[in-house]
């Protein structure tokens, strides 16, 4: 009975502490720190990278942005420990077919711990009419969680390519659905910018690459070239890779899982819709009910010791009484 009681107290303590201190739900955007509450020795951490932005149109459609990755892991923690987390933001949409405001910049890069790459910009060669090919969408930013020496990172999606005259833009790549254990995960890596049009010509901008860790960031897409026959499609940005690095002090219970995360923004379709930015990433924490073996056991209170001693005394009295009757 006593062991069951103390075991139940251990399992419920993290839930009580988390609910009391508000450490159970979505973390605020987009970069912050938190403190592990009393009684919490294990956390389920879910983080997702931002989706890439959609590519802008010409007389053809822009490419859709790629989705970010969603990573889930159970990490051993210590009450009072500081957690740092950064939420990857969405890549911005490319600007549609206009040069009236001067030189453009390409779809905005999604901020994050491993920012996305900027979408390929247009140099605006045809300023009299204001027409030009479409800009590339920006890559989504990576999200990260750091607990002591343990790091988790979820990659962002690639931006969609901008359309050229007679050539649609290619879609950005989703963040890969594989996760790597590497010390390089401790260092953020920015996605590569999409390639802009060649000066003096016209063509859609490439999509920006998704944010990741050093060596795992997405590549930027190539620029497009006008012409239905002699032209080429712009490239979408590559998705950023996901990773983890576990320290001895804050081990991960099992290999993290990975799935598709926030979606990319739609590409523009002439006469139908404008391009859209991707969906932002995020980070959530949920206290685990079962403490990992490395966590310290809960120490019974003085009152619990007294109850246990009273229980033993009553059991001994009953035993000796039964023995005398026999």
93-127 pLDDT, tens digit each = 998 766 655 557 899 999 999 999 999 988 766 54
Helices and strands in the chain, H and E counts: 2, 12
Q: Which of 62, 241, 216 is nearest to 138 (CA)?
A: 62
Q: What is the pTM of this model?
A: 0.80
Question: What letter would DSSP give residue 294?
Answer: T
In contact, 256 and 71? CB cutoff 8 Å: yes
Question: What letter would DSSP give residue 121?
Answer: P
Angle at 53 between CA 130 and CA 103, to 5 degrees: 30
CA atoms within 13 A on the CB side of 39: 19
In contact, 56 and 161? CB cutoff 8 Å: no
Rounded Cα gap, residues 191 and 193, in angstroms: 7
Rounded Cα gap, residues 53 and 203, in angstroms: 18
Q: Which of 319, 309, 98, 116 is nearest to 202 (CA)?
A: 98
Angle at 131 between CA 125 and CA 137, to 5 degrees: 90
Q: Compute CA distances 197 → 57, 122, 168, 249, whole Å.
A: 14, 6, 14, 50
Pairing of the two strands 42-48 and 282-287:
antiparallel
Beta-carbon count within 10 A of 256 CB: 22
C-alpha dihedral sign at 266, 269, 271, 277: positive
What is the number of residues in the chain?
326
Model pLDDT for residues 138-197, shown as the tens digit of each residue: 999 999 999 999 999 999 999 999 999 899 999 999 999 999 999 999 999 999 999 988
Q: Which of 208, 82, 43 is nearest to 135 (CA)?
A: 208
Backbone angles phi, psi at 19, to 5 degrees: -65, -35
pLDDT in tens, the chain (326 residues): 333 322 333 433 444 344 333 444 444 445 688 999 888 999 999 999 999 999 999 999 999 999 999 999 999 999 999 999 999 999 999 987 666 555 578 999 999 999 999 999 887 665 445 567 899 999 999 999 999 999 999 999 999 999 998 999 999 999 999 999 999 999 999 999 999 887 667 788 999 999 999 999 999 999 998 888 888 999 999 999 999 999 999 999 989 999 999 999 999 999 999 999 999 999 999 998 445 444 444 445 555 545 555 555 555 554 444 334 44
**Residue with token string 């605006």:** 124
Q: Is-cis flag, bond preceding 33, omega within 30?
A: no
Start-to-end C-alpha separation, the chain? 26
């Amino acid at each position: 009975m006593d062991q069951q009681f103390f075991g139940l107290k251990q399992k419920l303590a993290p839930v009580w502490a988390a609910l009391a201190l508000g450490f159970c739900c979505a973390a605020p955007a987009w970069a912050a720190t938190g403190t592990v509450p009393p009684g919490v020795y294990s956390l389920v951490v879910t983080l997702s990278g931002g989706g890439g932005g959609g590519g802008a149109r010409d007389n053809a459609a822009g490419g859709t942005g790629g989705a970010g990755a969603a990573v889930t892991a159970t990490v051993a923690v210590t009450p009072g420990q500081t957690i740092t987390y950064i939420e990857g933001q969405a890549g911005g949409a490319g600007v549609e077919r206009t040069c009236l405001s001067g030189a453009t910049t390409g779809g905005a890069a999604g901020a994050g711990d491993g920012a996305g790459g900027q979408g390929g910009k247009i140099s605006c060669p045809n300023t009299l009419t204001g027409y030009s090919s479409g800009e590339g969408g920006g890559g989504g930013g990576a999200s990260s969680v750091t607990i002591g020496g343990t790091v988790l990172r979820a990659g962002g999606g690639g931006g969609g390519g901008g359309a050229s005259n007679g050539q649609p833009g290619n879609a950005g790549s989703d963040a890969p659905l594989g996760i790597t254990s590497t010390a390089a995960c401790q260092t953020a890596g920015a996605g590569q910018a999409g390639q802009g049009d060649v000066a003096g010509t016209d063509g859609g901008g490439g999509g920006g690459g998704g944010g990741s860790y050093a060596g795992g960031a997405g590549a930027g897409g190539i620029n497009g070239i006008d012409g239905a026959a002699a032209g080429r499609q712009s490239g979408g940005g590559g998705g950023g890779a996901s990773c983890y690095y576990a320290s001895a002090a804050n081990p991960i219970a099992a290999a993290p899982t990975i799935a598709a995360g926030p979606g990319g923004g739609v590409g523009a379709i002439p006469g139908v819709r404008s391009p859209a930015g991707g969906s932002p990433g995020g980070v959530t924490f949920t206290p685990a009910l079962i403490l990992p073996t490395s966590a310290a056991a809960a120490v019974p209170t003085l009152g619990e010791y007294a109850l246990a001693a009273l229980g033993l005394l009553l059991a001994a009295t009953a035993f000796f009484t039964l023995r005398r009757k026999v």
